[in-house]
Amino acid sequence: MTKRELPALGIVEVQDLLRRHEVSPAEVLESLEERINAVDDKIGAYLAHDLAAALSEAEKADVNLPLGGIPIALKDLINVEGQQCTCGSKILAGYRAPYTATAIEKLRAHGAIPFGRTNMDEFAMGSSTENSSVQITRNPWDLSRVPGGSSGGAAAAVAADIAFGALGTDTGGSIRQPAALSGVVGFKPSYGRVSRFGLVAFASSLDQIGPLTKTVHDSALLMNAIAGHDPRDSTSLDAPIENYTKNFGRDLKGIRIGLPKEYIIEGLDPAVKTAVAASVKQLEALGAEIFEVSLPHTDYAVSVYYILATAEASANLARFDGVRYGHRADNIANLFDHYARTREEGFGAEVKRRIILGTYVLSSGYYDAYYLRAQKVRELIRRDFANAFEKVDALVSPTAPTPAFKLGEKTADPLQMYLADIFTIAANLAGICGISIPCGFADSESGKKLPIGLQLLGKALDEARILQIAHAYEQSTDWHKAQPPVRTERHTAGIDFDH
């Protein structure tokens, strides 16, 4: 093993090397740093990475812990004391977190080392990472395309071998959709499974932290670390923690998988359709039984989401007022001017659009027509899933309707951008869990391979089963082994180890 090959490994493999003392936690970090410095100017996945701080954690790392000495990148909206937490927004430029999120305390308790802050759509609002106020992130498979979003930096980092794994957040698809477009595994836990304490809130009834990794096994290991009840988050569920690898290796005999007929829509890319159909056959070959199911209120999911998520965001983002955090306008005339100019200068266009929309749907006179009605339809969507899960154990669908689109292709048309999450949003509204795993490729017109993601959805707290199905599928295919062009460029300034 040479130092320059290390970043190509997954968490399980690095863990094994660390335990056998073939590499040290410091060497792992240094190899990652070297690779970040060599390739991230092309990708733009990271907003910051502090090697010195991580190395001082590495000195104390206990490699016998489940994630001992493994660096994990974080989407730049999860607080770690002393680290930046910009949420991809100018309004939080220069802000340093005064405390640490529970999910990160848990990661550390499992031995992992938070290393690097990844780019994202501002306040997690977007599907391409183009709404970051800092930089764009490019898709490692085709640098002219988006990595997806809003956890696009995290997905691209994992895809380009500049992170072994990362934590992102998923409010309407922001882990699964970028995982699909960047060709990695992205797991959204059930609502309440992972504490949101220390996560900057976008839409509190929908947000969940979850892993982006190279393999399903790595996702399960990160879930083992971060899942569980937290008294500091009143919405976290007080349910027993499971070992998420416990079902690995079992076949899928007796598992019933539903194919929602409403998810076969016009506008579905033909390559996506073909790849998903082949994956369904593969699941069947592994022993699963496939049934057609119906989720009758699917058509309303995107509309309901853009009412509820914007309403919650308008309230959550009220705290960014220039008094307590981040940016504050200069030369203010009075209090109103202070608020107005701080927020005008600090927020980008999409965030402003959502605050305005959210304030509107909550305003008296419109509350009943929009917000209340959307809450009622949310309940119908939840019942659709409850009914489906009476008949089947899991649902299968594409993660996104198309492979990665071109940078700039959808920025002028927010509605088109919103439709990138057409298959992922309903799961957040229903609070269920879901995963995206690589399931094939489309060819771009310039001959590049563009990854396609398969989504599996499971009922709330049925994470172990979804991970089992995903693992069985992954192990029976080679999709996860394919490497983007940028990932194979590992011939830069590598210093070989003696080992």
Q: Which residues, numbered 233-262, are part of the site for ligand GLN (CB under 6 A)?
A: none
Q: Pick between residue 15 and residue 137 the one whose CB is nearest to ligand GLN.
A: 137
* Residue among 118, 127, 195, 342 that touches ligand GLN (CB under 6 A): 127
Q: Phi then psi for 405, rounded to 5 degrees? A: -95, 170
Cα 375–chain centre separation: 25
Residue found by looking up tokens 């994990």 in the block? 72
83 touches ligand GLN by CB under 6 A: no
Using the contact rule CB under 6 A, the part of the chain among 75-83, 136-144, 168-176, 486-494 near ligand GLN is 168-176
Q: Which residues, numbered 282-321, are part of the site for ligand GLN (CB under 6 A)?
A: 309
165 touches ligand GLN by CB under 6 A: no
112 touches ligand GLN by CB under 6 A: no
Q: In this structure, are residues 60 and 35 in contact, taking their beta carbons and an 8 Å threshold?
A: no
CB of 457 to ligand GLN, least distance (A): 15
Q: Pick between residue 86 and residue 171 the one whose CB is nearest to ligand GLN.
A: 171
Q: How far apart are CA 100 and CA 89, in angstroms?
A: 20
Q: How far apart are CA 469 and CA 244, in angstroms?
A: 12
Q: 10 Å Cβ neighbour count for 292? A: 10
* Residue among 114, 116, 126, 398 that touches ligand GLN (CB under 6 A): 126
Contacts of 461 (CB under 8 A, 6+ apart): 190, 193, 237, 239, 433
Q: How far apart are the first and last CA of the chain?
A: 7
What type of residue is 167?
L
Q: Which residues, numbered 172-191, are part of the site for ligand GLN (CB under 6 A)?
A: 172-174
Phi-psi region of 199 (alpha: psi -120 to 50; beta: other; left: phi over 0): beta
Active site (annotated) includes residue 391: no
Of the residues 3, 31, 75, 436, which is catalytic?
A: 75
Question: By C-alpha distance, which of 484, 481, 421 is closest to 178?
Answer: 421
Q: Pick between residue 2 and residue 416 the one whose CB is nearest to ligand GLN.
A: 416
Active site (annotated) includes residue 174: yes
Of the residues 127, 128, 174, 219, which is catalytic?
A: 174
Q: Which residues, numbered 395-454, are part of the site for ligand GLN (CB under 6 A)?
A: 421
CB of 309 to ligand GLN, least distance (A): 6
Residue nearest to ligand GLN according to CB distances in the complex: 174
- Residue 210 bridge partners (DSSP): 168
* Residue among 125, 134, 293, 388 that touches ligand GLN (CB under 6 A): 125
Q: In this structure, are residues 404 and 141 in contact, taking their beta carbons and an 8 Å threshold?
A: yes
Q: How far apart are CA 325 and CA 183, in angstroms?
A: 36
166 touches ligand GLN by CB under 6 A: no
Contacts of 234 (CB under 8 A, 6+ apart): none
E strand intervals along 59-162? 71-75, 113-118
Active site (annotated) includes residue 75: yes
CB of 125 to ligand GLN, least distance (A): 5
Using the contact rule CB under 6 A, the part of the chain among 51-59, 163-171, 390-398, 455-463 near ligand GLN is 163-171
Q: Which stretches of the chain bind ligand GLN, using CB under 6 A? A: 124-127, 150, 169-174, 202, 309, 421
Q: Which residues are catalytic?
A: 75, 150, 174
